[in-house]
Amino acid sequence: MKHRSRVHVVGILLMVLALLVAGCAAPVSAPAAPAGGAADAAATEAPAKEGGFTIGVSNTLVGNGWREQMICAIKAQATASGLVDKVIVVNRNGGPTEQIADLEGLISQGVDAIILNPTDREGLNAVIEAAIAQGIVVVAVDQAVTAEGAYVVTNDQTAYARIGAEWLFETLGGKGKVVEMRGIDGVPADTDRHTGFQEALAKYPDIEVVAETFTGWDPSTGAQQALDLITTTEVDGIWTSGIDYPVVEQFQAANVPFVPIVGADNNGFVKQLLELADEGLVGAAVTNPPAIGAVGLAIALDALTGKNPERVTMLTPELFDTSNVEGLQALYAPDEQVGWSTYVNIPPYTSYSGSADVSACKAPGE
């Protein structure tokens, strides 16, 4: 009886052991993994988390006040959100090749989201989609990309140029010789702005474009181009892609009478529109807030925390000309840098207190 009991016990133990081994083994036929790539981005995104995020930022235009403020706005919003532990900024001059390398570097550092100001509408798609396939949220700010699964957060660049150009052509009475001072050839924002400029131009057949330049959005380059033009060419008006206050300075330096000028809401240009009106300066500032970077971060955090934001967010520009003194005064900040915009609070996206937080340019932990 004792022998049979022992056999019975051993048999039971062997059965239990077999069940445990079977429970730990992999199933014979596992379900197929998602195909990956941008088309399946939703399937590969990481589950929503509550915070502790690392944010990567890619910028490829150094020495430009607008871009500097864009980065500072991202940092300010990261701090204000309470959801970000670290912001990694990759900041250098370059084109698509350099930006692809920078994006690959951010991916390898394990960031949760990437905010980029893209150098190309389509040329970055492969690396962007690779990031998305790994569960990284990617937001293109200021300029659009076509990568499937990416978020796009921009100012309406076509409208920016169109409303400024229409103001200029109307101010000239529908006829005259104008200059189009563009940004960087081939980048999305410049292409969209040129489209807007051409849309306006098509309505005014008696407006002649006597020069088209590419400033690279570099103040010194734009200044030299403007000086050369106003001292050698008959010019009745100038449209600029945000290189505005250096252009005004060249009229002063050359002692040449002002012509109507269109620029952005750069603090230095707004100051000139207010202070030089009595000296004959007529101009218009079109809003293009660098705080679009902070809006992009807010969208990224919404995506990371499972709030399903819209894939495309576009801000509508406004125009303030020298006839709207009150509006220009609201845009001007005496203590702000000349190349920065005071248009920093963009509800409902930003939650920092204002210009002081952006000017501090501090990310969490800095």
Q: Three-state SS for 247? A: helix
pLDDT value for 325:
97
Higher pLDDT, 3 or 63: 63
- Determine how β-strand 319-321 pairs with β-strand 283-286: antiparallel
pLDDT value for 336:
86
Residues above pLDDT 70, as percent of the chain:
87
Other beta carbons within 10 angstroms of residue 317's beta carbon come to: 21
pLDDT at 7 over 80: no
- Note the pLDDT tens digit of each residue in 304-313: 999 999 999 9
The three-state DSSP-derived secondary structure of 190-246 is HHHHHHHHHHHHCCCCCEEEEEEEECCCCHHHHHHHHHHHHHHCCCCEEEECCCCHH
Q: Which residue has the tokens 């100038």?
A: 238
Please compute the mean of the pLDDT values over residues 307-332 and round it to a whole number.
Answer: 96
pLDDT value for 47:
56
Please compute the mean of the pLDDT values over residues 116-141 and round it to a whole number.
Answer: 98
Lowest-pLDDT choice from 26-30, 287-291, 299-303 = 26-30
Nearest to 76 by CA among 353, 341, 324: 353
Q: Which residues pair with 139 in a beta bridge?
A: 115, 151
Q: Which residue has the tokens 């969208």?
A: 299
Higher pLDDT, 22 or 85: 85
Domains and CATH numbers, the chain: 41-156+290-316+337-360 (3.40.50.2300), 157-286 (3.40.50.2300)
Confidence band (pLDDT; 50, 70, 90) for 17?
very low
pLDDT value for 176:
98
Nearest to 138 by CA among 121, 120, 113: 113
- Note the pLDDT tens digit of each residue in 140-159: 999 999 999 999 999 999 99
Nearest to 91 by CA among 108, 110, 67: 67
- Note the pLDDT tens digit of each residue in 183-210: 999 999 999 999 999 999 999 999 999 9
Q: What is the mean pLDDT of the chain?
A: 89
- The pTM score is 0.84
Confidence band (pLDDT; 50, 70, 90) for 243?
very high
**Contact (Cβ atoms closer than 8 angstroms) between residue 141 and residue 70:** yes
